Amino acid sequence: MYYISMKYLNSKEVSDILGVNISTLKRWTDNGTINCHKTPGGHRKFTMQNVREYYKSNKRATKSTDVSLAKFEHKKIYELIKKASYSELSYKLADASIESDETTVKTIISGSYMNNIDVETLFDKIIDPGSMIVEKALHEQYLSHAEAFISRKIITRATEALNDNKPNGSFNGKSALCVNFEDNLPDLGVVMSEVILRHKGYNVYNTGSHAELGDLNKVIKNKKIDLIVFYLCNMQCCMSVVGDNIAKTADQVSSIFKTASDLNVEVIFGGLGIELLPDISNTIDKTFVTFKELNKLV
């Protein structure tokens, strides 16, 4: 499985988010109102998903306007999240990533997630538009390629935190392989695909960047893969769609698709990069551009 470092919240942070005192939070963890992980020393540790699930189960819960983020002066961001001001959030996300303000980027993404914004909405309405704002700045030469890459990588790291080391939803008994291409950096699209799949209950393996897939036949069999999801954008920072790499990418896709077909494994292809691979787009039936579409496909 593709593991990431899990970010835990402590009791003080979660009590601030929920607007209750720590003794109330302790009682809630004891009676099952909110789930947590207890360390061997008895300390309570929470994930963003624990907070998200609390709000799902308690529709009348009042969300603190502090969200444990007041120390970062991010109350304005939280107000935008409460108002579902997605366009303004996408601009703030782009600006923060360009300025390498990783704290603000994390606040926008994790704050939206904990406050129960659907992951597909978060991706389609905030993260993808924010990425396109950065891409436009690159096209208009306000940014260098290196600056755009750094921006996208910061957003990718914050998005990875939405994953967990297990399916985020109820396990559906199936495993999926998210495929990123050897020359495709960074890999935001494939990370967002992974998040969607985990929330739909899949156990997910992610090839990561610079993946040399090797004997995929063996991988599919050993990991008991039921679904393969490709993602290929057409942004300037995606090296898989430039120069001689586009032919290499097309060969990779064709080879993997043939292997998957021979083994009766379902294939889904995402991203606008498929438009640059006409032979592939005519072969694969299930494609998506938005993550709402991916959510429906799986």
- Model pLDDT for residues 42-76, shown as the tens digit of each residue: 889 998 888 888 888 886 666 554 444 444 457 78
Bigger pLDDT: 277 or 146?
Answer: 146
Structural domains of the chain sorted by starting position, each given as residue range(s) with its CATH number in brackets: 1-63 (1.10.1660.10), 65-162 (1.10.1240), 175-297 (3.40.50.280)
Q: Is the Cβ–Cβ distance between 209 and 187 less than 8 Å?
A: yes
Handedness of CA 121, 68, 22, 26 (dihedral sign): positive
pTM across the whole model: 0.81
Of the ranges 27-41, 61-75, 168-182, the best mean pLDDT one: 27-41
Distance between CA atoms of residues 112 and 109, nearest Å = 5
- Model pLDDT for residues 103-134, shown as the tens digit of each residue: 899 989 998 998 889 999 999 999 999 999 99
- Model pLDDT for residues 177-208, shown as the tens digit of each residue: 998 765 555 589 999 999 999 999 999 998 76
* pLDDT over 60 (residue 274): yes
123: nearest Cα among 188, 209, 201, 54: 188
Q: Rg of the Cα trace of the chain?
A: 20
Q: Is the Cβ–Cβ distance between 187 and 156 less than 8 Å?
A: yes
SS3 of the chain: helix, strand, coil, percent, to 5:
55, 10, 40
Strands (E), 150-233: 175-179, 203-206, 227-231
Residue 93's pLDDT band (cuts 50, 70, 90): very high
